[in-house]
């Protein structure tokens, strides 16, 4: 499988006075294009820290984070059509300053957090429009933007809510709007940090249905969760303990109701 992201020997420590705590400890992970990778681990094991390094939000001490992306990162409808596999570009976070990483993140990475952070004074439509307006160079123009937003909202059950404000939606609907906002620019990678952590069962299912559909469309996803049923929606689980990879489980193609995962987690004290 073609790799989108290759992490090698990644290490990040925090210093408080003379004490040093290593929160990401010699982590190596490869993520293939179109993969749906789940990161699990107890609270404080370093999952969010790892996700922030992958997003280029935080600096790391050692190791490498390397992205391999097509030279052109615009949505398919705006591509010139001359892109070739050989046009792939390698991006090494270790060689980039903060500004360059921020630009890279804006173009290539969508992020969804546990608490939906929709802007309360904007409607669903306006919230999803926002990243298109911030995109550099701006993505799509007037009516194309409207079509893209209506298309996504219709497909994912938010059409009748498109002109509502976040406070008029359920938690699950808000989270789905937040996910659509994160993928409207078609970032090659979507990072989700416990996106269903504050949702009930039914809402969780709707959010996971959306993520599975996006993944089937080719969206690469890395998702952090505490929830076994959520993890079972992925293709592979990476288990983190004290900042280290303590185990990996690749699901078989015919996932038999999470049995493999139950066994895998039991061995790790769940
Ligand atoms: N800015 C920081 N300064 C110092 N320690 C931090 C900082 N951020 C996180 N940590 C510590 O790193 C460890 C891992 O945290 P985190 O990545 O948030 O874990 P998780 O997401 O798995 O719950 C925790 O012990 C936490 O206290
Ligand atoms: Mg966390």
Q: In the predicted model, what is the mean pLDDT of residues 137-159? A: 86
DSSP letter at 172 equals H
Q: Which backbone phi and psi does 112 adopt, to 5 degrees? A: -125, 130
Q: What is the spatial distance between Cα 223 and Cα 133, in angstroms, rounded to a whole number?
A: 26
Q: Which atom of ligand 1 is nearest to the CA of 49?
A: 17
185 CA to centre of ligand 1 in angstroms: 30
Q: In the predicted model, what is the mean pLDDT of residues 26-55? A: 96
Token code pair at residue 219: 């969206």
pLDDT (0 to 100) of residue 28: 98
Of the listed ranges 3-12, 65-74, 222-231, the least confidently predicted one is: 65-74
Q: In the predicted model, what is the mean pLDDT of residues 45-61? A: 96
Pocket lining: 108 vs ligand 1, CB cutoff 6 Å: no
DSSP-based helix, strand, coil % in the chain, nearest 5: 35, 25, 35
pLDDT (0 to 100) of residue 251: 87
First to last CA, the chain: 31
Q: Contact 13/21 with Cβ under 8 angstroms? A: yes
Name all domains of the chain by residue range, CATH numbers in brackets: 3-266 (3.40.50.300)
Q: In the predicted model, what is the mean pLDDT of residues 206-235? A: 93
Q: What is the spatial distance between Cα 182 and Cα 178, in angstroms, rounded to a whole number?
A: 6
52 CA to centre of ligand 2 in angstroms: 10
SS3 state of residue 248: strand
Q: Which atom of ligand 1 is nearest to the CA of 52?
A: 17
Q: Reply yes or no on whether the pLDDT at 7 is more than 70.
A: yes
């Amino acid at each position: 499988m073609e790799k989108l992201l290759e992490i090698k020997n990644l290490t990040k420590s925090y210093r408080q006075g003379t004490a040093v705590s290593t929160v990401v400890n010699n982590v190596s992970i490869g993520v293939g294009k179109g993969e749906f990778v789940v990161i699990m681990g107890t609270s404080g094991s370093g999952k969010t820290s790892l996700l922030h390094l992958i997003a280029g939000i935080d600096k790391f001490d050692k190791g490498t984070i390397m992205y391999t992306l097509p030279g052109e990162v615009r949505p398919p409808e705006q591509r010139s059509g001359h892109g070739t596999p050989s046009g792939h570009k390698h991006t090494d976070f270790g060689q980039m300053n903060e500004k360059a990483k921020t630009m890279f993140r804006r173009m290539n990475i969508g992020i969804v957090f546990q608490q939906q952070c929709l802007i309360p004074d904007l409607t669903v439509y306006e919230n999803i429009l926002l990243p298109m307006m911030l995109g550099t160079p701006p993505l799509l123009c007037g009516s194309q933007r409207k079509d893209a937003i209506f298309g996504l909202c219709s497909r994912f059950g938010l059409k009748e809510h498109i002109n509502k404000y976040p406070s008029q939606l359920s938690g699950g609907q808000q989270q789905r709007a937040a996910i659509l906002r994160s993928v409207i620019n078609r970032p090659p990678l979507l990072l989700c940090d416990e996106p269903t952590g504050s949702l009930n069962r039914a809402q969780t299912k709707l959010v996971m249905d959306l993520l599975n559909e996006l993944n089937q469309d080719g969206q690469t996803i890395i998702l952090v969760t505490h929830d076994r049923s959520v993890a079972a929606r992925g293709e592979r689980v990476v288990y983190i303990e004290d900042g280290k990879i303590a185990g990996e489980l690749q699901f078989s193609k015919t996932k038999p109701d999470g049995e493999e995962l139950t066994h895998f987690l039991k061995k790790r004290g769940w």
